[in-house]
Chain A
């Protein structure tokens, strides 16, 4: 039996009604086919784990991606970074929420694949990636990884590509992947050189003592070394011209992410430079180690990446 004209008209009006309501719901700031980012999974390093952001060692509640601010944090008046995790709950509701962190302290890009493998079977709908900080933070600049694979030595490009492929293989249709570029580590030197750790010793002394990120922060490293590291990250010289020798780690990640986005039309991939261009200030550096972001830095990182127009734009 064929539906009559009147039935079709009625169905059309019901459909219009449905769409008008659906369109007005703020939770629907998603692209067609994109799943709500309720099942969150982060890949990263000690920045993701908010090491030394407030208490010594891990502060998962202060992670810019996975952070939370529950009753006990409120009771102890521990800071609130308004992480992606919290913004998702606020925007999309708390039902069916999951919040996984696979980030490891000290992880480099070569560990991305292992971290991504843990996403298997979790039906992750939103995965974040911020790795590479430890790739540029080596003992000295000559230790920075090659961009391309040479012989048995796997290059940065292939490490990232393999990690991303692994991650994508475990994500369902409609999932979102958000890759954040390597932060501007040389800038840490510029603003941290005048900071005093706990008001007792200055940061350059601490950097020498802890040997954290020698390629940039050691007293042996020069301005030229720091410029070199920045060039390796961005692929740009200090005068704004393209590097003669390097594509830049962040450009490599951006290019691979965009290519993967084109090859996976049912998944949604984004890359942001906001983690590099963020205007870090003195208070954004940890008072405990002069190296990691403080809770204020984590809060700022969450804000700029969430609001960045190149990101998923889940809404504010």
Chain B
């Protein structure tokens, strides 16, 4: 009996130790920032609208980069970001709506906010409405084309399948060109900047190819 208890106790202690070692037991509550960038595979948290806060009406409801955004929210002077009526749609909608394949008001609002925030953060300038719409449409184009490219073609070698692949690939290239024209970097590099911690480039020198 005593042996049995000791074994059970050892098992419990062991399970706890292993769980702690591998991060299975997290703190009861986290100190995540309200607008923290989501971890891979999860949706970002969207802040509840704060009616009385000037910051809440001027910062996109869901934008990336936790610590930077925390800085933005807590600094004395609000950032110079133009109010965007679409943010209201985002706040009232859900992030899952934005992730659905069909383009939606939620998707537009989320991506508009991200574009506006990231371009200002990265390049210190604001997009005009035409530029913003162009970039937004380009990303929507990427989204549709990419979805199509990832579909299993019925007959990959058929003329129809080849035509579809061609048009989708061209759409991706066109979207990338628009990004380079408007902000000087391609879509891939732009999106990489939103996930700064995802990969750190330490290549001794950089070349194009």
Q: A: which residues have CB within 8 A of B?
A: 9-10, 13-22, 25, 27, 46, 51, 54-61, 63, 66, 68-79, 85-86, 89, 92-95, 98-106, 111, 114-115, 117-118, 196, 198-200, 283, 287-288
B165 CB within 8 Å of chain A: yes
B93 CB within 8 Å of chain A: no
A-side contacts of B208, CB under 8 Å: 57, 105
Interface 0/1 of B177-209, CB less than 8 Å to A: 000000000111101101100111111111111
Given A104-B204, A200-B166, verify A66-B199 contact (CB < 8 Å): yes
Interface 0/1 of B138-152, CB less than 8 Å to A: 010011001101100
Q: How far is the CB of B102 from chain A (nearest CB, A)?
A: 11
Q: How far is the CB of B122 from chain A (nearest CB, A)?
A: 14
Q: How far is the CB of B193 from chain A (nearest CB, A)?
A: 10
Q: How far is the CB of B106 from chain A (nearest CB, A)?
A: 10
Q: B: which residues have CB within 8 A of A?
A: 3, 6-15, 17-18, 22-23, 37-44, 64, 98-99, 101, 107, 110-111, 114, 139, 142-143, 146-147, 149-150, 156, 162-163, 165-166, 169-170, 172-173, 176, 186-189, 191-192, 194-195, 198-209
B-side contacts of A288, CB under 8 Å: 169, 173
CA of A73 to CA of B147, assembled, Å: 12
Complex contact A72–B64 (CB within 8 A): yes
Complex contact A71–B13 (CB within 8 A): no
A-side contacts of B198, CB under 8 Å: 61, 68, 70, 99
B-side contacts of A111, CB under 8 Å: 204
Given A72-B64, A73-B191, A104-B207, verify A54-B172 contact (CB < 8 Å): yes
Given A17-B7, A75-B107, verify A22-B143 contact (CB < 8 Å): no
A-side contacts of B202, CB under 8 Å: 100-102, 118
Complex contact A46–B209 (CB within 8 A): yes
Residue in contact with A69 in the complex, picked from B40, B200, B204, CB distance below 8 Å? B40
Residue in contact with B18 in the complex, picked from A21, A75, A85, A86, CB distance below 8 Å? A21
Complex contact A76–B146 (CB within 8 A): yes
Identify the closest chain B residue to A22 (Cβ): B18
Complex contact B199–A17 (CB within 8 A): no
Given A118-B202, A287-B169, verify A106-B207 contact (CB < 8 Å): yes
Q: How far is the CB of B203 from chain A (nearest CB, A)?
A: 5
B-side contacts of A287, CB under 8 Å: 165, 169
Residue in contact with A118 in the complex, picked from B3, B6, B204, CB distance below 8 Å? B204
Complex contact A104–B206 (CB within 8 A): yes
A-side contacts of B194, CB under 8 Å: 70, 72
B-side contacts of A51, CB under 8 Å: 209
A-side contacts of B38, CB under 8 Å: 70-71
CA of A76 to CA of B138, assembled, Å: 10
Complex contact A102–B43 (CB within 8 A): no
Complex contact A68–B195 (CB within 8 A): yes
Most buried by B among A63, A71, A102, A104: A71
